Amino acid sequence: MSLLLQKFPEMEVVTTHGVIKLPDHFTSQGKGFVLFSHPADFTPVCTTEFVEFQRRQEEFRKEGFELIGLSVDQVFSHIKWVDWIKEKLGVEIQFPIIADDTGEIGRTLGMIPEGKTKTVRSVYIVDKNGIVQAIITYPYDVGRNIDEILRYVKALNVSQANGVAMPANWGVDQVEWRPNSLIGNKVIIPPAADVETAKKRLEAAERGEIECFDWWFCCKSL
């Protein structure tokens, strides 16, 4: 949690695509990245996750984010597992996978619980400026919801581009559109920080330019 909204720590990592430097490898290209750890190669839940991440890779790229995996396995294990997935499942894993066989990276990022030796299912969402915008952690036995991670990336982009906040359920449209029960598909205007702005918000609501439940809870359509 201490890394949330902080600069992602600089590190040099060994991956299936060679040695790369984080976060510069992505941020130097104006891209963000989604770093996700898994307990071990050649395990069922992790295999389902990697296949799903790969199948959604282009959607993440459209949002300006690249994918990168991590576990405590050595790089040759990653390479063999990737080969197995391609041969047996017909899916080619195209994103790099970090070999953290010493566990140093996992401990630095809080991915290895006390008393354990394997990384849990952590997700670090890092924006194009190298700032950690989300940390999501799942236990060993529960696979991740890739739709939710992609939804968060989309919401982050809209929020940063427009200076707004996103309500609960915003963008849950992969299966069906389920808008927020209070404000539908509108976005939230950040609360007023002074009396004058609060007054102007209510005046704008009276003119029908925005919608407000009160001066501190206003929303609008994009």
Task: From 184, 112, 139, select the one nearest 45 (Cα to Cα).
Answer: 139
Task: From 185, 115, 135, 175, select the one nearest 155 (Cα to Cα).
Answer: 185
Residue 94 is which amino acid? Q
Please report the beta strands in 94-131, taking only residues with DSSP state E, as ranges in sequence order.
Answer: 97-99, 121-126
46 belongs to the catalytic site = yes
Distance (Å, whole) CA 96 – CA 92: 12
Q: Could you tell me how many residues make up the chain?
A: 222
> DSSP alpha helices (H): ranges in 9-89?
24-27, 44-55, 57-62, 75-84
Distance (Å, whole) CA 4 – CA 28: 21
Distance (Å, whole) CA 183 – CA 220: 9
Q: Which residue has the tokens 């007054």?
A: 199
Task: From 17, 133, 135, select the one nearest 64 (Cα to Cα).
Answer: 133
Bridge partner residues of 212 (DSSP): 218
Residues marked active site are found at 46
